[in-house]
């Protein structure tokens, strides 16, 4: 005898339905991966700041003249040269300089370019004495100057540099100076000729001529008079380019002396803007005049 429950055909179906439902439930419980958070720098680069100005606002990029950026070396040199000429033109006004002297006065110099054709300049050199304001300053000033008060003085000058005369000389320099306080005046001219000896040596020849005038103040019963002194000097300088050394030999003759006074000197450039020079020369009294100096010169 066989026993049957009557549900034998339904068990496989129920088992399959249970397994399928379990799979759906497990799939529903799986958490999807979280989206990666954007990097701060990447987001900042991708998103422009609303406060940043738009430099191209209102500009049609297609109409820009990009050829203005095509500047060759020659054009750039012209621009630099024009800038230098503008700076030089701005300096054509009065050029003032002042230095304090050891005795308390001030050395003031002023000059101005008049013409660039012959490099003509005018100027004045002045010694400005300070006025004492207290009795102690008055006594100190007299003690420092041999019992006398400092007096202001000055001289006016004019100078010009012109070209030479062909192959005879290269450059002509003329200078005139007047000192009304001491009734002195001077008019001088120099002729210069440069001759290259080799690539490392050069020779410079110079002849100078000057007239010095000295006046005397008229006194009651005594008329003033004027004396003139004529002077000429000749010099030759050899310059060694590689070592920065120059050697000079010259002589001077004036109407107040009855013989040529010879002079020999040398100058050595130590490094930038610093030089040392020494000289040995004769005097009208027969003694030998010796000097050794060091100088520093800087322009800006």
Q: For the chain, what percentages of helix, strand and coil (3-state, to nearest 5) are there?
A: 20, 45, 35
**247-257 pLDDT tens trace:** 999 999 999 88
Q: How confident is the model at residue 108 (pLDDT cuts 50, 70, 90)?
A: confident
Pairwise pLDDT comparison (219 vs 133), residue with the higher score: 133
CB-based contact 234:253 (threshold 8 Å): no
Q: 7 falls in which pLDDT band (50, 70, 90)?
A: very low
Return the percentage of the chain with pLDDT > 70, whole number.
65
Residue 29 has pLDDT above 80, yes or no: no
Q: Which residue has the higher pLDDT, 148 or 112?
A: 112
Beta strands in 164-273 (DSSP E): 171-179, 184-196, 201-215, 226-240, 245-254, 261-271
Assess whether pLDDT exceeds 60 at residue 174: yes
pLDDT, tens digit, 9 for 90 and up, residues 114-137:
877 788 999 999 888 877 778 887
Averaged pLDDT of the chain? 76
Q: For position 165, what pLDDT does the model report?
A: 79
Please enumerate in sequence order all residues whose Cβ is within 8 A of that of 114, keeping only pairs 6 or more positions apart, or say none.
120, 121, 122
Phi, psi of 27 (to 5 degrees): -65, -35
Cα–Cα distance for residue pair 203/247, rounded to 1 Å: 10
For residues 9 and 158, which has the higher predicted lDDT (pLDDT)? Answer: 158
Write the DSSP symbol of residue 93: S
Strand order in the sheet with 106-115: 95-100, 106-115, 120-128, 153-163, 171-179, 184-196, 201-215, 226-240, 245-254, 261-271, 274-282, 288-296
With 0-12 / 13-18 / 19 or more C-beta atoms within 10 angstroms meaning exposed / middle / buried, residue 194 is middle
Q: Report in angstroms the alpha-carbon separations of 34 from 31, 37, 40.
A: 9, 9, 18
What is the spatial distance between Cα 105 and Cα 128, in angstroms, rounded to a whole number? Answer: 6
């Amino acid at each position: 005898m066989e026993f049957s429950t009557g549900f034998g055909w339904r068990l496989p179906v129920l088992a399959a339905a249970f397994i399928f439902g379990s799979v759906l439930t497990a799939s529903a419980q799986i958490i999807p991966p979280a989206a990666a958070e954007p990097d701060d720098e990447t987001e900042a680069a991708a998103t422009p700041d609303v406060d940043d100005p738009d430099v191209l606002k209102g500009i049609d990029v297609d109409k820009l003249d990009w050829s203005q950026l095509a500047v060759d070396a020659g054009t750039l040199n012209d621009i630099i040269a024009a800038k230098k000429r503008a700076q030089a033109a701005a300096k054509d006004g009065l050029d003032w300089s002042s230095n304090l002297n050891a005795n308390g006065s001030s050395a003031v110099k002023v000059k101005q370019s008049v013409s660039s054709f012959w490099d003509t300049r005018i100027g004045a050199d002045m010694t400005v004495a300070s006025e004492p304001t207290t009795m102690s300053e008055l006594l100190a000033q007299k003690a420092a100057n041999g019992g006398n008060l400092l007096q202001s003085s000055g001289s006016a000058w004019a100078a010009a540099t012109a070209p030479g005369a062909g192959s005879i000389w290269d450059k002509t320099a003329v200078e005139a100076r007047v000192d009304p306080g001491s009734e002195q005046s001077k008019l001088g001219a120099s002729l210069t000729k440069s001759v290259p000896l080799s690539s490392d040596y050069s020779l410079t020849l110079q002849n100078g001529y000057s007239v010095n005038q000295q006046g005397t103040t008229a006194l009651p019963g005594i008329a003033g008079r004027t004396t003139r002194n004529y002077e000429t000097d000749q010099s030759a300088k050899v310059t060694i380019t590689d070592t920065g050394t120059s050697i000079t030999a010259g002589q001077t003759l004036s109407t107040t002396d009855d013989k040529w006074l010879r002079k020999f000197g040398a100058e050595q450039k130590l490094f930038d803007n610093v030089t040392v020079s020494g000289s040995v020369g004769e005097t009208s009294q027969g003694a030998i005049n010796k000097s050794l100096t060091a100088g520093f010169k800087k322009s800006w």
